[in-house]
């Protein structure tokens, strides 16, 4: 393990990064805009209301992606920019062409899926109460000690690791780990598990600052392996999980090997309101 050289003006680079983060979480479908995630389960066509939005929502037959919504034209629900007057299918995010929902100028939605083939409606409000109250994302100053060059060792076919999620009552979800991230710091050997997140790897970790100076559940770090077999872990870029911004997210929890027994005083700390207090 070797430390990676810091950028010429790390404070300015980090300030721009945090500014972009605050813009992202307050976007119309940013983390602070999520006001509801409601799973629609049961028999096909069993209609259910969803808190905060009009229409009745029902599951589709097994194997079909998405949900069905039934509404009158006066409900002003648009699916893929077509006004619903009767019923319409909203394709889930697992479909190559997912559907989009518009309830008003500020309220939108889409449908997500889980591993069991169930679907939920997510509702976003660009003028949510949390967006109105939001002040900033508190973060540590730049800390060069926590920029680490680690070794990335691909695993043929990947390795399955069970990740608990915040709202799953201790049940685990199997995630494929494409390789091992290893390094030694202050005489301690680490072997971290990070799962694929698009083109990057997502590291879910905790440390001894959690519940003290940082969010209690843990934090995320997104990294991309280098062609030379290394991976740069810049914990200054560690971010709060979506569940720190909205209770309507269900975030993965750090597996045992990603729980640091030392403080990582780098990266984001907490979500603050306009008065500088914790937002949640």
Residues 21-75: tens digit of each pLDDT:
999 999 999 999 999 999 999 999 899 999 999 999 999 999 999 999 999 999 9
Same domain for 117 and 176 = no
pLDDT-based confidence at residue 6 (cuts at 50, 70, 90): low
How far, in Å, CA of 208 to CA of 227, rounded?
Answer: 32
Residues 66-115: tens digit of each pLDDT:
999 999 999 999 999 999 999 999 999 999 999 999 999 999 999 999 98
Residues 218-234: tens digit of each pLDDT:
999 999 999 999 999 99
Number of domains, the chain: 2
**Structure tokens, 10:** 């790390």
Domain that holds residue 55: 31-125
How far, in Å, CA of 138 to CA of 141, rounded?
Answer: 10
**End-of-domain residue from the set 79, 104, 125:** 125
DSSP 159-177: EEEEEEBTTSTT-EEEEEE
Residue 130 belongs to a domain: no
Quote the pTM value: 0.92
Same domain for 258 and 201 = yes
Same domain for 81 and 23 = no
Same domain for 55 and 100 = yes
Same domain for 220 and 82 = no
Residues 149-166: tens digit of each pLDDT:
999 999 998 888 889 999
Residue 13 belongs to a domain: yes
Residue 238 belongs to a domain: yes
Closest CA to 134 of 213, 37, 244, 241: 244
């Amino acid at each position: 393990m070797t430390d990676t050289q810091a950028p010429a003006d790390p404070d300015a680079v980090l300030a721009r990064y945090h500014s972009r983060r605050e813009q992202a979480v307050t976007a119309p479908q940013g983390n602070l805009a999520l006001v509801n995630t409601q799973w629609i389960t049961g028999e096909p066509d069993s209609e259910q209301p969803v808190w905060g939005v009009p229409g009745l929502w029902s599951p589709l037959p097994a194997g079909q992606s998405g949900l069905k919504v039934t509404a009158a034209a006066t409900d002003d629900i648009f699916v893929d920019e077509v006004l619903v007057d009767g019923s319409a299918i909203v394709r889930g995010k697992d479909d190559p062409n997912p559907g989009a929902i518009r309830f008003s100028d500020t309220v939108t939605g889409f449908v997500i899926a889980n591993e069991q083939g169930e679907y939920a409606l997510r509702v976003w409000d660009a003028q949510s109460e949390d967006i109105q109250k939001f002040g900033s994302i508190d973060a540590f100053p730049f800390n060069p000690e926590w920029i680490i060059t680690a070794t990335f060792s691909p695993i043929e076919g990947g390795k399955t690791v069970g990740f608990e999620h915040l709202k799953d009552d201790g049940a685990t979800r199997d995630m494929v780990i494409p390789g091992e991230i290893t390094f030694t710091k202050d005489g301690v050997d680490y072997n971290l598990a990070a799962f694929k997140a698009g083109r990057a790897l997502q590291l879910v970790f905790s440390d001894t600052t959690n519940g003290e100076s940082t969010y209690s559940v843990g934090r995320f770090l997104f990294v991309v392996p280098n062609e030379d077999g290394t991976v740069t872990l810049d914990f200054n870029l560690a971010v709060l999980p979506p569940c720190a911004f909205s209770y309507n997210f269900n975030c993965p929890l750090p597996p045992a090997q990603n729980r640091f027994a030392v403080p990582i005083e780098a990266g984001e700390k907490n979500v603050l309101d306009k008065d500088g207090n914790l937002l949640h």
